[in-house]
């Protein structure tokens, strides 16, 4: 709860609730996040829920609005580690949410990642506006 309050998504409902059982409500920012979450939930199938629950799936997908290199994705997600990004991309590639293409013309060759299939749908629905949740 404290984390959601710190992010500005939740607040105490003033004047309501017992001091030992306070009530909370979504802030306007929280209502936006809930609307985005609902859209993402509608796009994803039941089989996709496990991948959606992973910490970095949505932030990585939102950074793939256009094909991007590993370091560009990492730059957009300041707190992600190389290992977490690599594992997230691999799990989404396995699920065919992300496509990896190697640019052989670059020296050294570089991987370029694109959101595809369900990943592209989720990326489009969540969009860059989900970035406010990543602080």
pLDDT digits (tens, 9 = 90+) for 47-74: 888 898 898 999 999 999 899 999 999 9
Cα distances (angstroms) measured from residue 97 to each of 35, 63, 90, 111, 119: 22, 13, 10, 16, 4
CB 122 within 8 A of CB 54: no
- pLDDT at 83 exceeding the cut of 90: yes
- pLDDT at 126 exceeding the cut of 50: yes
Alpha-carbon distance of 43 to 37, in angstroms, equals 10
CB 89 within 8 A of CB 38: no
The predicted pLDDT at position 129 comes to: 57
Kindly indicate whether the domain formed by 2-134 is annotated with CATH number 1.10.10.10.
Answer: yes
The predicted pLDDT at position 132 comes to: 43
Alpha-carbon distance of 135 to 118, in angstroms, equals 25
The predicted pLDDT at position 130 comes to: 58
Q: Where are the domains of the chain?
A: 2-134
Helix (H, G, I), strand (E, B) or coil at 114: strand
State residue 19 phi and psi, 5-degree precision: -55, -30
- pLDDT at 79 exceeding the cut of 50: yes
Over residues 100-127, the mean pLDDT reads 90
Instruction: Quote the mean pLDDT of the chain.
Output: 87
Over residues 18-42, the mean pLDDT reads 87
E strand spans, the chain: 10-18, 21-26, 68-69, 98-103, 110-115
């Amino acid at each position: 709860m404290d984390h959601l309050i710190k992010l500005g998504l939740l607040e105490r409902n003033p004047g309501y609730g017992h001091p030992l059982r306070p009530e909370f409500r979504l802030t306007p920012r929280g209502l936006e996040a809930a609307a985005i979450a609902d859209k993402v939930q509608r796009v994803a199938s039941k089989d996709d829920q496990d991948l959606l629950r992973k910490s970095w799936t949505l932030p990585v997908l939102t950074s793939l609005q256009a094909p991007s290199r590993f370091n560009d994705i990492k730059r957009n997600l300041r707190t992600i580690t190389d290992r977490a990004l690599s594992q997230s991309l691999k799990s989404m590639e396995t699920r065919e949410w992300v496509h990896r293409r190697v640019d052989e013309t670059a020296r050294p060759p570089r991987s370029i990642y694109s959101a595809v299939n369900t990943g592209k749908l989720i990326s489009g629905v969540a969009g860059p506006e989900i970035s406010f949740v990543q602080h």
